[in-house]
A and B are shown apart, each in its own frame.
Chain A
Amino acid sequence: MAEFFTIAEASRLIAAKKLSPVELATICLERIKAADSILNAFLMVTEERAIADAKAAEARIASGTAKGPLDGIPIAHKDIYNTAGIRTTAHSKLLQDNVPAADSTVVRQWRDAGSVMMGKLATHEFAMGGPSFDLPWPPARNPWNPDHFPAGSSSGTGAAVAAGMILGGTGSDTGGSIRGPSALCGIAGIKPTYGLCSRAGVLPLSFTLDHTGPMAWTVEDCALLLQAIARHDPTDPASAVHEAPDYTLGIDAGVKGLRIGVVRHFFEDDHPASPATRMGIDHALEVFEHLGAEVREVKLSPLADYNAPGWLILLAEAYAVHEPWFKTHFNDYGELFRDRLALGGLIRASDYVQAIRRRRLLCLELQAAMADVDILVTAAQPAEAPKITEVPKWAMLDKPNFTIPFNVTGNPAMSVCTGFGAGGLPVSMQLVARPFDEATLFRAGHAYEMATEWRKKRPALVA
């Protein structure tokens, strides 16, 4: 099998003319051909477009007009991101013939940065209904063991990045849909601060909880990908007016002097995580302390108190988005999305309002808790990936998840691989920073990855 590259490595080699973008795109296309019949990460491979993009990048590099670190880098997009002239389906029968006229803002920004578009990636139906077996396309599978769940809803992105079919990709995160698949597929993925990256041209799920963001093999690669999309977009009504710093500038600064708070009750009491997950977090905290960080415990409201407003807001807003189609095409949706979202129609207006009032108090609580710490550490997922056929329909209601609290508050949060469990599948931790402090998140995550060996191991399926 061909070598695996991170974006940072490939970018350096391309700039030095030691790696051709066409050669790199070809490696990725060959991996897709070899493994995607098992993984189902792609809904569409845009091979001709990829080669054309790669040739254009190669010409720029040859002429000394390269666009920057993403020039010639193979990426792909979750299939809720509009792509001009290329089918965008939300993995749903309802949109199986939908061809947008224009790119979403993020797609355009990565295209303008010179990236090579490899195709459109599997998602849970409309970013919530999965893993589903009753849709026009099968669900993506976990490259560490294809019998297992890659999480969702950015399932194709998680699988494709872990398998080296692409070097980075887009995800979206309303309750954990970037951080979940990043965790279960053993990669890095960041949900940026609410408003930092544009959602314009991305099919909505829940307006006040939706975030766009990148997923990649390493934290450093996430920083490179985020750099190209962290900017104000007047066409997104929630877009923040914020000037992003250079995320790579201080990424090697280490964690010496950083104050790290661990929200231990989330994963020990509120939703007990597996021994491997806890061990991974404890080891990461030891690594941070060894590197000079100060670790202390932080207490927040119970995890369920964050999940309740999160899910109520998500279901009510998503129901509002889908209600017109629900009334005319209810049975064209897959069972999981249809049943989960129908609950949203049973939420009363006053309950929704109470949920957003509660949300504000939780934002204030987290802001106060982070006054004396730079980073929070907690779990991203409770355990290794379950079997793909054993994911409960009502998982989000049965047990509180670890990710939606930071959709509720809008803080930036990132999944980082912390090793492997007894089943050989990845486990992870979640890092959380103050609003718009993605740079500190990258600094901590990168320091951890540099101090550990986990980034050297790829799934046996493609290794």
Chain B
Amino acid sequence: MSEIDPTAFDALIAQTGLTLTDAQTATLRAAYPKLQTMIARVTEPLPREAEPALIFQAEIR
């Protein structure tokens, strides 16, 4: 995963509204590429009918 654009990362941090120290921001910046790898795995194209299932349906045996 390529490194995130610093401006885009700063925008994400700003959106949280959290007041972070430079060290805390650096920690998150270092870990963020790993999160991006996970995001990439779920954002591959899905069929339109792949809707979230919010009701658990028990199997009848």
A234-277 CB contacts (< 8 Å) to partner B: 238, 240, 242
Contacting pair A240 B58 (CB below 8 A): yes
A363-409 CB contacts (< 8 Å) to partner B: 363, 367, 393-394, 397-398
On chain B, the residues within 8 Å of A338 by CB distance are 24
Does B51 count as interface, using CB distance less than 8 angstroms? yes
On chain B, the residues within 8 Å of A354 by CB distance are 42-43, 46
Which chain A residue has the least Cβ–Cβ distance from B53?
A360
Contacting pair A353 B52 (CB below 8 A): yes
Which chain B residue has the least Cβ–Cβ distance from A340?
B31
Contacting pair B34 A358 (CB below 8 A): no
Indicate whether A345 sits within 8 Å of B58 (C-beta atoms), given known contacts A308-B38, A351-B43, A353-B52. no
Q: Considering the chains assembled together, what is the distance between the CA atoms of A437 and B58 in angstroms?
A: 10
Does A34 count as interface, using CB distance less than 8 angstroms? no
Q: Considering the chains assembled together, what is the distance between the CA atoms of A434 and B38 in angstroms?
A: 27
Interface size class of A (residues with CB under 8 A): 35 or more
On chain A, the residues within 8 Å of B61 by CB distance are 434, 437
Q: Considering the chains assembled together, what is the distance between the CA atoms of A194 and B17 in angstroms?
A: 33
Q: Which of B15, B19, B20, B39 contacts A312 (CB 8 A)?
A: B39
Which chain A residue has the least Cβ–Cβ distance from B60?
A436
**Which residue, of B16, B19, B28, B58, has the highest number of chain A Cβ atoms within 10 A?**
B58
Which chain B residue has the least Cβ–Cβ distance from A310?
B38
Nearest CB on B from A129, distance (A): 14
Q: Considering the chains assembled together, what is the distance between the CA atoms of A307 and B43 in angstroms?
A: 14
On chain B, the residues within 8 Å of A398 by CB distance are 34
Contacting pair B46 A358 (CB below 8 A): yes
On chain B, the residues within 8 Å of A330 by CB distance are 18-20
On chain A, the residues within 8 Å of B12 by CB distance are 345-346
Indicate whether A360 sits within 8 Å of B52 (C-beta atoms), given known contacts A342-B18, A345-B18. yes
Contacting pair A345 B46 (CB below 8 A): no
Q: Considering the chains assembled together, what is the distance between the CA atoms of A350 and B39 in angstroms?
A: 10
Contacting pair A327 B42 (CB below 8 A): no
On chain B, the residues within 8 Å of A240 by CB distance are 56, 58
Q: Which of A242, A345, A351 contacts B16 (CB 8 A)?
A: A345
Q: Which of B18, B28, B41, B52 contacts A308 (CB 8 A)?
A: B41
Does A356 count as interface, using CB distance less than 8 angstroms? yes
Does A231 count as interface, using CB distance less than 8 angstroms? no
Q: Considering the chains assembled together, what is the distance between the CA atoms of A100 and B35 in angstroms?
A: 36
On chain A, the residues within 8 Å of B50 by CB distance are 357-358, 360-361
On chain A, the residues within 8 Å of B20 by CB distance are 330, 342
Contacting pair B35 A343 (CB below 8 A): yes
Does A297 count as interface, using CB distance less than 8 angstroms? no
A196-211 CB contacts (< 8 Å) to partner B: none
On chain B, the residues within 8 Å of A327 by CB distance are 17-18
Contacting pair A397 B34 (CB below 8 A): yes
Nearest CB on B from A421, distance (A): 28
Which chain A residue has the least Cβ–Cβ distance from B52?
A356
Q: Considering the chains assembled together, what is the distance between the CA atoms of A366 and B28 in angstroms?
A: 33
Q: Considering the chains assembled together, what is the distance between the CA atoms of A347 and B40 in angstroms?
A: 12
Does A304 count as interface, using CB distance less than 8 angstroms? yes
Q: Considering the chains assembled together, what is the distance between the CA atoms of A339 and B34 in angstroms?
A: 14
Contacting pair A434 B16 (CB below 8 A): no
Interface string of A284-308 (1 = CB under 8 A from B): 0000000000000000000011011
On chain B, the residues within 8 Å of A359 by CB distance are 52-53
Nearest CB on A from B45, distance (A): 10
Contacting pair A343 B31 (CB below 8 A): yes
Indicate whether A434 sits within 8 Å of B59 (C-beta atoms), given known contacts A343-B28, A343-B32, A356-B52. yes
Nearest CB on B from A232, distance (A): 12
- 11 A-B pairs with CB atoms under 8 Å apart are A240-B58, A308-B41, A326-B18, A327-B17, A342-B18, A345-B15, A346-B12, A354-B43, A355-B42, A358-B46, A397-B31
Give B residues with C-beta under 8 Å from A.
Answer: 12-13, 15-20, 24, 27-28, 31-32, 34-35, 37-39, 41-43, 46, 50-53, 56, 58-59, 61
Give A residues with C-beta under 8 Å from B.
Answer: 193-195, 238, 240, 242, 304-305, 307-309, 311-312, 315, 326-327, 330, 338-339, 342-343, 345-347, 350-351, 353-361, 363, 367, 393-394, 397-398, 410, 434-437
